[in-house]
Chain A
Amino acid sequence: MFQILKNFYHKLGSYPWFYKISGKVIPFVGVFSISLIVISSIWGLFFSPTDAVQGDVYRIIYFHVPAVSVSQVIYYSISVAAAVFLIWRMKMAGVYIKSLAPIGAAFTFIGLLSGAIWGQPTWGTWWVWDARLTSTLVLFLFYLAIIGMQSTFASRKSADTAVSIITLIGVVNLPIVKKSVDWWNTLHQPASISISGESSISSEMLIPLLLSILGVYLFVFFTGLLFMRAEISTREQNKEWFKKLSSNN
C-alpha cells in the first residue's frame, strides 16, 4: 500500500505523466461536476421547500455554502503543497499553488458576494463585521497577496519559493487571526446576529446542498486540472516531450 502511494507521489512530480493522465480525466470530471451543479441548482432553486423563517431568500445557500467551504479547503491544500514544495522541491507543487490560488480567490469572492446579497434581506445590511465574515475577508486578502507575489520574481523557482513561504506564514497566522477576530467580535458585536442561528437543516434542503457542495468541489478539481495543464504548457513549451505531444495532435 505504502509502495503504491510512494509510486503515485513520484509520478505526480512528473510533468509528462500528469499532463497525460489529466487529459484523460478532465472530460469526465468536467461533465460530472457541471451536471451536478446544474442539477443541484435546479433542485435547490425550484423543488426544495421554502424556509419557514427566511422564505425563498435562503436558496442562496446553495451557492454560498459551497463557495465558502471550498475557498478554505483550497487554502489548506495550497499550504500543504507549499510545505511539499519547500521540503521536497517538487516542481508540481509550485504549479499547483499558482493554478489554485486564483480559483480560491474567485470562490472566496463569490462567497463574500453571495453572503452580502443574502445578508441584505435577512440581516438588513450588506456587510456585518462579524467574526466569520472578517476572517473570510482576511482569507481573500491572503489569496491576493499570494497572487500578487507571483509576478514580483523573474525566475519561476524563486517565485514559487516566495509564494510557498507566504502561504505557510499565512496558514500559521490564519488561526491566530480567526481567534483574535472572535475575541474582538465579542466586545463590539451584539449577539443578535449570527450565521449559525438556523436550526438544523431538513433533509429535503440538505440533499441538494450536499450535491451542490460536491459539484463545486468537483468543479474546482476540474478547473484546477485545466489551469495546471495551462501552467505546465507555458513552463514546458520548449521541452522535447511537449513539442512531441503538440505535434502529434
Chain B
Amino acid sequence: MIYFTKILKKEFLIYSRKSSSFIGPVVFFLISISLYPIGISNDPDILKNLAPGLIWITVLLSTLISFQNIFSEDYEDGSIELLLASGQNLSLIVLIKIFVNWVFSCLPIIILSVFSVFLLYLPLEGLKPLIISLLIGTPTICLFGALAGALSLGKNSITGPALMLPLSLPVLILGTQAINYSLNDINFSSNILLLTAILIFLLPIILFASVGALKLHFN
C-alpha cells in the first residue's frame, strides 16, 4: 500500500512541476471555445442549440493533447520498465497514472467549462448536467486514452486518436444528450447512470488491456 501511495505522490509531483501538461489542454479548450462564435455565428439562438455538442467535442479533442503523456515520458526514461519488473500490481499502477492524468488534464477543463457556458449562451439549467456528465464521462475517455497511449508508445502516429475517438462515441452521445434533455425539461438521470455504468464496466477491462499493451513493448 505504501508503494502505491508513493507512486501516487511521485505522479502528482511530476505533473505539478511540469506545467505544460495541464496548460496545453486548457489553452486548447479556451481557444477553440472562443473560435466557435467567430466561425459559426454570434447569434445566441444558434449557439445555444450547438453549445452542448461543441463543449463536449472540444473536451474530447483536448484530451487528445494529453493522452500521450500518460506513459510516454516514463517509457523514454525507462521507469515503465522498472515498474513492470517491480512485481507489484500493474493494473493499480496504471489506474494511478490514469487518475493523476485525469486530475491534471481533464479537471481544469471541467472547471473552465463553467465559463464556456456563458461564452456559448448555454442556458443555466444546462450547467448541472454538463458538469456531472463531464465528471463521469471524462474518466472513461481517459481510460481509452491510456489504452491508445499504451498501444502507440514511442510512435507519433495517427493510430492513437484513430482508436480513441470511435471508442468514445457512446460517452459523447450520452453526455450531450443529458444536457439536451435537461434543456427540454426531460429527466436526464438515466444518461448519467448509463455513463456511470459504462465507466464501471470498462474500467477493469481497459486496465487489463493497457497492462497487456504496455508489456508488448518489452518483449
Contact = CB atoms under 8 A, between A and B. Distances in A.
Do most interface residues of chain A lie in helix, strand or loop, or is the interface mixed?
helix
Do most interface residues of chain B lie in helix, strand or loop, or is the interface mixed?
helix
Contacts of A138: 166, 169
Nearest to B195: A180
B169 A180 contact: yes
A220 to B, nearest CB: 23
Interface in A148-178: 148-149, 152-153, 155, 157-158, 161-162, 165-166, 168-170, 172-173, 176-177
B162 A145 contact: yes
Given A162-B151, A184-B177, A169 B209 contact: yes
Given A138-B166, A183-B177, A184-B177, A161 B158 contact: no
A113 interface: no
Interface string B140-177: 00000001000110010111001101110110011001
A: contact size bracket: 20 to 34
Given A169-B147, A181-B173, A176 B198 contact: yes
B159 A152 contact: yes
A152 B170 contact: no
A187 B183 CA distance: 13
Interface of A: 86, 138, 141-142, 144-145, 148-149, 152-153, 155, 157-158, 161-162, 165-166, 168-170, 172-173, 176-177, 179-181, 183-184, 187
Given A86-B212, A166-B151, A176-B198, 13 more contacts: A141-B162, A145-B159, A149-B151, A149-B163, A158-B219, A165-B147, A168-B209, A169-B167, A169-B209, A170-B167, A181-B173, A183-B173, A187-B180
